[in-house]
Structure 1
């Protein structure tokens, strides 16, 4: 079942160049992972340090495989340096049969 993953990050002010570089590296790696469909990065207009990524994956299992990928974990650790708080993840599935 199709999965939508919401990834919320709150960065400290400054270091935008480094942050965007790391986010671009994450996106580039994700695009080559089995099950990856798309990703969308958004910012709050009045609070540009608040960002949300909406990732679309073929299945939750494909997302979980990527989430546990060592290259991804290394980039996430580098992003943690610039964050106010830990990254928050919300995982959703799309489709019928959600409520039985």
Structure 2
């Protein structure tokens, strides 16, 4: 199992629009093989910094989603709401 950490710095006052898009993203991801769930967190020191922690069964299934047309479209919808590009960190649970 892997965890995918996605960090996004939103523009001020853009969370409501962001939330609409991210709900669509979670629904799309849930249809993909290997998606095990995801949670959204706010940085305690910066409410415009969003951290998503998603669980995937394998790196390969995450990569299929990451490269999918659905995610590309959703990422393009999110881009105007963010101050910079998202950062992604992939963690595995054991060696």
TM-score normalized with structure 1 length: 0.90
- CA deviation after TM superposition for structure 1 residue 18, in Å: 1.1
Once the two structures are superposed, the pairs formed by residues 2-81 of structure 1 within 5 Å of their partners are: 2-81=1-80
Query: CA separation in 2, counterparts of 1:30 and 1:36?
Result: 6
After superposition, the CA RMSD in angstroms is: 0.9
- CA deviation after TM superposition for structure 1 residue 64, in Å: 0.2
Query: CA separation in 2, counterparts of 1:39 and 1:49?
Result: 19
- CA deviation after TM superposition for structure 1 residue 15, in Å: 2.4
Q: Which runs of 5+ in 1 are unaligned?
A: none
SS in 2 for 1:81: helix
Deviations 1:27-83 (A, max 9, x none): 111111100011010001341110000000000000000001101111101101111
- CA deviation after TM superposition for structure 1 residue 16, in Å: 2.1
Structure 1 stretches of 4+ with a deviation exceeding 2 A read none
Aligned residue for 2:83? 84
